[in-house]
Amino acid sequence: MAMRLFKRRTNKPPTAGPEDRDVAEKKRRFNFSGSKILRDVWEWFKETWPDHFLLIEAALTTFAIYRAPPVARRTFQINYFNGVPIPPAGFDHQYRPYILNSFVSGAIALAAPILVFILMQIRVRSLRDLGNAIFGVQFSLATSALMHVVIASVVGGLRPNFYDVCKPKGKEEHGEGWEMEVLDRDACTGEDRMVDYAFSSFPSGHSTAAFAGFVFLFLYLNAKFKTFSNYRPPYWALVATWAPILAAIVIAGQCIVDHSHHWYDVLAGAFLGTLMAFSAYRMVYASIWDFRFNHIPLARFAPFQYDTESDSVKYDNLGKAMWTKDAGWGSKTERPWDGAPYDRAGADSRRGHSGHEHEAPSQVPVPDAGHMA
């Protein structure tokens, strides 16, 4: 008996089967225990608190510039026909309230993508992916909003309803130039706040916010659904991926319908928002268009190595941080990601893509030019 008490145990624990490994993998990828989540959130906050601070600072700066009078001294012309003032064509619309005010359009551009990010975690199941996605869309919106208010204040422009809002006095009192037909802000008799609004047409803030938020969502869905990748996805993936672009166009187009912006104001805002969305997405994800990497969220301090053995891919199984499970993507293997078929990563591993056990050809067959004709 004494010998049994002090005898070293030689029995090995039972080897985990495939089902046990799958369960352990799921727990490791997204552990729902309260202490684990709190610890992960705390670690994430320690990494990102400077970004939280700068986002708040950017929002306050944007609001201050937005509330301040425009910097640019814009002039405008008023013509008379038989003694009656005639506004130039394109600026003679009556003032109408926004169909969607600035707060609502900005809230939609932020809340809708975040809601989608949260719902996507049903299958993505990665706290780092969720954090990067939320941060990324905030980076896009905050930066584009700051750039928008600066441009609107320094450059600005006359809105389509400018003359109805300005209600200018006659040229005899404040006119400049030949025949005294050029006027400035001093000639406006409208409410000061509304006159500031009338001078800040370029670019459209609604369009900027809509495209900053929804283009980011478009890039996110493309990466998670692998809409443009190495296999033919289902049709619903194409519709779902492009739905955010449709939403952005509809929101931005309301500014043309209610005559609060010219078409070129909306186009400029769309360009600015899209540029910020692309920049923000590339900050937080490993790629924009490269389907092998564009679903992988980047860490704050650990550099991502673009190869199959990268620790950053294996960490928290970020290589599987996607929605689709088709064509081997996100397959339940020991190696979470192994490159797309026929790419360099798959050829190096000799296992093809996403851990499939098949030989990856060393060269891609090149079609004969005669067959391409």
pLDDT tens digit string along 202-243?
Answer: 999 999 999 999 999 999 999 999 999 888 889 999 999 999
pLDDT value of position 359: 42
Which amino acid, residue 298?
Answer: L
**Total number of residues shown for the chain:** 373
Q: Tens digit of pLDDT for each residue in 310-326?
A: 555 555 556 666 666 65
pLDDT value of position 183: 79
User: Tell me, what DSSP letter sits at residue 123?
Assistant: T
Mean pLDDT of the chain: 77
Separation CA 346–CA 230 (nearest Å)? 13
- For the four alpha carbons of 285, 286, 287 and 292, in that order, the dihedral sign comes to negative
Provide the β-strand partners of residue 85.
80
For residue 347, name the pLDDT band (cuts at 50, 70, 90): very low
pLDDT value of position 76: 82
% of the chain exceeding 70 in pLDDT: 68
- For the four alpha carbons of 252, 257, 258 and 264, in that order, the dihedral sign comes to positive
User: Tell me, what DSSP letter sits at residue 229?
Assistant: S
pLDDT value of position 330: 59
Separation CA 323–CA 294 (nearest Å)? 13
Q: Phi/psi of residue 182, each to 5°?
A: -95, 125
Half-sphere exposure of 93 (CA within 13 A, CB side): 18
* 50 against 112, higher pLDDT: 112
- Among candidate residues 135, 155, 148, 118, the one with its CA nearest the CA of residue 281: 135
Average pLDDT over residues 265-287: 96
Encoded tokens for 265: 């104001």
Separation CA 350–CA 243 (nearest Å)? 38
* 304 against 17, higher pLDDT: 304
CB 278 within 8 A of CB 219: yes
Q: Tens digit of pLDDT for each residue in 88-147?
A: 888 888 898 888 888 899 999 999 999 999 999 988 888 889 999 999 999 999 999 999
Encoded tokens for 287: 């790629």
- Among candidate residues 343, 107, 68, 341, the one with its CA nearest the CA of residue 206: 107
Q: Tens digit of pLDDT for each residue in 173-202?
A: 554 544 446 777 888 888 888 998 899 999
Separation CA 323–CA 339 (nearest Å)? 17
Active-site residues, by number, are: 206, 261
pLDDT value of position 119: 94
